[in-house]
Chain A
Amino acid sequence: MQLVTAHRKPARLRAWWIPYALIALPAVYVGGIQLFTLVRGLWLSLSDTNLLTPWDSTFVGLDNFQEVLTSPRFADALQATIVYVIGSLGGALALGLGAALILNARFRGRRLARALVAIPWATPGVAVALVFVWIFNDQFGVLNFLLTSAGLLARYNTWLSNPHNAMLAVLIPTVWQLFPICALVILAALQAVPEDLVEAARIDRADSISRFSAVILPAIKPTLATITLLATIWSFRRFELVWLLTQGGPGSATNTLAVDVYRETFLYADLGLGATVGMIGLTLSMCVTLVYFWWGGRGSTIGEPEVAR
């Protein structure tokens, strides 16, 4: 009796195409949609196109970019955007890190606290904006009431209608809504920090600040970098909160690039200029992303925690 051995291909030949097949379809879907809209947006930014007649475009080269970049309104929008991004990022990360450290500790009700912290993130932006419009109301808002009652303000302040306070008034709900996702992501990273390293530092009589800076922070740095990148891009794109709270006002105090894109495209019906502002915003986001990958590539592999030396 002879044993018949079935001919089998080598494992590497049998399996090599499977990963490509699995990513091909989502790649086609994402590439088809995203790439098409990117190319279309680029074309629109180089054309004079009316929202009501988008098929009737006239190529104008870089005229739109020249008009936007030399406009005083764009300079205000860029400044407002940078302030908004830095403010929301800083506030969300600081608050998120603090919340994550607290939620990582052991205390009764920790599970409930972890669930509750997600509420701001889960609340629709429109609802958040409408409630904060009321909170910031000049005459009847609860914020003025609380601050004057606590003696922190001598009299009621103007918030959304005051160019000096409007950006702060817009940042508060933004940070309130953004910090939970930062907290939860950082919390996940904190829970992956090896407990024995922390214990070793404790045995070496390192105080909490030293334990955090020498052991915990290096371990969660890649996660912090990733959430910083994501939060930056989200802040660049944030529209509904700013629009519903101030529509970019008073004056140009809160007129971010996202608000400008909407105004040019839908109020002025100028698809070309709207796409131009959008392309500029996209370029800024890409610059941030490139900085992130460049910084992440220096001395460490992205995703791998640094080892404390």
Chain B
Amino acid sequence: MLDSHHSTVKLAAVGVAFALILAGCGTASPGTAAPTGTAAPTSTAVVPTAAPPVTLEVASWVWAEPRGADVAAAWIDPFQLAHPNITIEKVTIPYANYDNTINAQLGTNAAPDVLQMSDVGFAQAVAANRLTDLDPLIDYATYQPKLLPQNEFGVRNDTRYGYIYSLAVFGMFYNKQLLDGANLAVPTTFDEFLAAAAALTDTTAGRYGFAMRSTLAESAGWWPMFSMWVLGNGAKYLDGDNVTIDTPEMHRAVEQYMTMYNSGSMLTGTDAATFRRLFADGGVGMTFDNGLGTQMASFPQMLGNAYIAPTPFEGGNQLALPLYIAISEDSPHKAEAAMLLEYFLSDEVQGKLAVALRGELPATFDFEHPSASYQSFLTDAYWVGPLESQVANARPAIEPGPLSILAPKLATAILTELSKVQSGEQTIDEMLANAQATVEAAAAEL
């Protein structure tokens, strides 16, 4: 029989132990702490020679990709060798969840020090003052002569918050063997494009002339691919303070897209992983996409047969998505992060990155005097040449401006209404009117 006094003592001891455990596990409520970022130094920071050890977190979705190792070898690894007191921790976040994850981390003051950012995520972070002004840390004039002009998109409200990490240039991929086999030239107009897709389609053999993302389930990738039609037709979603969705140019873009969608030559409702595989195996003749070099690493059967051309629209622009590199406002190691960024912008690293990125262009790129390693890379990477010629004519889907913060809502509005046109629920006119109204209402709330 238990002694009642001992039972009481035992139970009380257990209770105290639990209370201590809970107290030890308790953390501050997320999102209630004020920001703890240190003030940016007023001049380029100098790290003392006997520098204490520092760990820098560098976030990128590239670390998860096949080229991630090459990018790290070009940039991260040599920096660590040169700066033994600085340890780089690569933070890998898949592209599909990247913006959401970084935004949540910025909101809890737990974001990595150095951030690769999409154009949408960059705009959101800038609007919320979560990124560091880079001009006090990095001498812009040192790098300006070689910077791609798209680096100016990193300037918002006269403040430089980011440099280009890479420029993802989108284009029309085509299977040369299929085109040659059908005696087709690379299309340069929409009519040629439509005809070529029809000629390449043989549904009994499971082959389609054209494929691209076309479902809301892949809206993150559908958005830039659809925007290729928009930019190619000279249309714009936004123009300064104005929403310019319901325009004749946009109508033409959507009309051409729907003509292709309903033609029977386009592989619809299929995800990118599937149609990229089909393209590699000759099941799709043409696609709108980016990252051909990265895809070739996964599908070596494409080598020698897959090429890139500008989108077959007349008088418009090509699409290039600027991807930025920035420093979190909360980083306690801004000086070290700036050192990493300056090393990133150096000729040595930029030359290696031009190879490692496999077709995406880095922040500084000298078209007239490419590095020796890039010359060697071009010998094998035959597909890169057309990309370079597209850069001058390449724009992002939404250029920086007073309404660019609306990009997520604008993209959702456009793609939601477009999906209704695809399913026959509404006309193109209704789509554009509805999207225009939705975005104008969102703009009015700013």
Contacts and interface: CB of A to CB of B under 8 A. Distances in A.
B444 interface: no
B416 interface: yes
A140 B103 contact: no
A95 interface: no
A40 interface: yes
Contacts of B124: 52, 269
B306 interface: no
Nearest to A249: B216
Nearest to B120: A267
Nearest to B19: A25
Interface string B27-47: 001111111000000000000
Nearest to A266: B100
Given A140-B274, A251-B416, A244 B129 contact: no
B415 to A, nearest CB: 8
B240 interface: no
Contact of B100 (A18, A21, A267): A267
A162 B19 CA distance: 54
A153 B435 CA distance: 35
Interface string B333-362: 000000000000000000000000000000
Interface residues of A, number: 43
Interface in A1-19: 8-9, 14, 18
B103 to A, nearest CB: 5
Contacts of B425: 163, 251
A251 B100 contact: no
A53 interface: yes
A268 B11 contact: no
Nearest to B100: A266
A280 B271 CA distance: 33
Nearest to B30: A54
Interface string B74-101: 0000000000000000000000000110
Nearest to A134: B274
A249 B29 contact: no
A21 B11 contact: yes
A148 interface: no
A102 to B, nearest CB: 35
B262 to A, nearest CB: 12
Given A25-B15, A53-B130, A249 B100 contact: no
Contact of B128 (A53, A158, A249, A251): A53
A36 interface: yes
B215 interface: yes
Given A24-B15, A248-B216, 18 more contacts: A14-B4, A51-B104, A52-B124, A53-B107, A55-B35, A133-B217, A137-B270, A138-B268, A161-B422, A162-B423, A163-B423, A163-B425, A249-B415, A250-B419, A251-B419, A251-B423, A269-B103, A271-B107
23 contacts: A9-B4, A14-B4, A25-B15, A52-B103, A52-B124, A55-B32, A55-B33, A133-B271, A158-B423, A161-B215, A161-B269, A161-B419, A162-B423, A163-B419, A246-B216, A246-B217, A249-B216, A250-B420, A252-B416, A263-B412, A267-B100, A269-B124, A269-B408
